[in-house]
A and B are shown apart, each in its own frame.
Chain A
């Protein structure tokens, strides 16, 4: 199965560990990604806060470029997933926006006819690859590993269709497919604070604390995530949560692709796990090494 790949800006920087695990794990699942040539930033939430039409126009450049590949476009980043889908939806719903975006693209010698379906990598891994196939690649018994799936916001909202916006299950299923134990907890789709972490840190740390506390209360060894910003907030800022609230969290927050790789017996290094802020240690390390 071949897809056009829209990596987004984060996977070559703060989320490079995500990309390393993607490169390591996807070929074994029969997923082939061809990078969209010369893609640009989707605009994220920041662009939308200052210029709406411009946000849609730069985002649409990527969709226009993707049309020559005649395939679904896949992104590993929840924000890119949301913004690119939102561009599609607004161009479809509002003729005035479609017209102006079209004129802007024309100035760059491009045209977009509206036919690119944008999907999140999690969707492709769970819905396009047979469960048995994923299970067939598993080499380690991770049944003792308790994993809390953290969906965050932007893959289940506002686009509804991938899964339930409040109690999604697709990552839960994936955890079971690789033989680990899925932790059910109530914070799985609550916000991590996103970019508020940079602008109003205490409020965002508070939101992260609630998520980490709920995962710990339910005895999770680790949290898995699908979004570079969620991963950074929960991982890199975990020590700040601890110093602000006097908590003692030491919960590794890894990407879902890294969990698949661990189950396949790949090395920590190959999966980029050495780059975590909160390293894999203690009981989780024992389970992985003993499996």
Chain B
């Protein structure tokens, strides 16, 4: 259920709107005409708390918790169907990414916890080897996010392994130092 049913202009959470509008491509959210093409195009629309059209309406009405705590942003699989069809050319998928980042930052990830764990561990792989090591990523992810469900991954892992598709050792890059310098510089710019 929504936390409030009606919100009037004077009581809007303008901070939330401003945060969204200030993102690259974020101000286009103002142009949304609520046509619903995005929701109709979304392969996950039927199972989301709020399909994309409603998310845009909620953003503009300042429902911060409702938006950032919704499963919508984590069920988006980046298929970009909505984004290429939007008549107002809103970069919908990219807004969803921005909402994911905000939700992680504000600790509002609920149903999407596993996706957030996967993303975080993916980044660990890249910072460590410069490349993704799929075998280690899967192992780390299962341990951290889904240990109780580990037996469910076993047949998939075995099938990949028995067909020689799951190497034990990572393929590392040579100059990881250079990559780390770039990463450190971004951390510095973002105050991390």
Contact = CB atoms under 8 A, between A and B. Distances in A.
Interface of A: 9-10, 12-17, 38-41, 43-54, 57-58, 61, 90, 93-94, 96-97, 100, 103-110, 153-154, 157-158, 160, 165, 190-191, 193-196, 198-201, 203-204, 207, 232, 236-237, 239-240, 274-277
Contacts of A53: 186, 189-190
Given A9-B171, A38-B173, A158-B83, A54 B164 contact: no
Given A43-B126, A51-B123, A157 B80 contact: yes
A93 B94 CA distance: 14
A201 B160 CA distance: 17
A50 B159 contact: no
Interface residues of B, number: 66
B131 A41 contact: yes
A13 B115 CA distance: 22
B79 A195 contact: no
Given A49-B100, A199-B145, 8 more contacts: A52-B97, A53-B190, A110-B182, A160-B84, A165-B81, A198-B114, A236-B160, A275-B165
Contacts of A194: 77-79
**Chain A's interface: helix, strand, loop or mixed, by majority?**
helix
Contacts of A158: 80, 83-84, 91, 93
Contacts of B160: 14, 232, 236, 277
A54 B183 contact: yes
Given A48-B97, A240-B156, A40 B130 contact: yes
Contacts of B75: 196, 200, 203
Contacts, number: 193
Interface in B168-192: 171, 173-175, 178-179, 181-187, 189-190
Contacts of B175: 38
Nearest to B93: A158
Contacts of A204: 77
Contact of B189 (A39, A103, A195, A199): A103
Interface of B: 24, 43-44, 47, 74-75, 77-81, 83-85, 91, 93, 97-98, 100-101, 104, 112, 114-116, 118-120, 122-123, 125-126, 130-135, 138, 141, 145, 152, 155-156, 159-160, 163-167, 171, 173-175, 178-179, 181-187, 189-190
A13 B135 contact: yes
A103 B120 CA distance: 24
Nearest 10 Cβ contacts at the A-B interface: A107-B185, A46-B122, A157-B80, A191-B79, A153-B79, A9-B132, A199-B114, A46-B119, A275-B163, A158-B80
B179 A61 contact: yes
Interface centre among A41, A43, A97 (most CB of B within 10 A): A41
Given A44-B132, A49-B101, A200-B75, A236 B80 contact: no
Nearest to B117: A199
Contacts of B79: 153-154, 157, 190-191, 194
B182 A12 contact: no
A17 B181 CA distance: 34
Contacts of A276: 163
A191 B43 CA distance: 7
Contacts of B78: 45, 153-154, 194
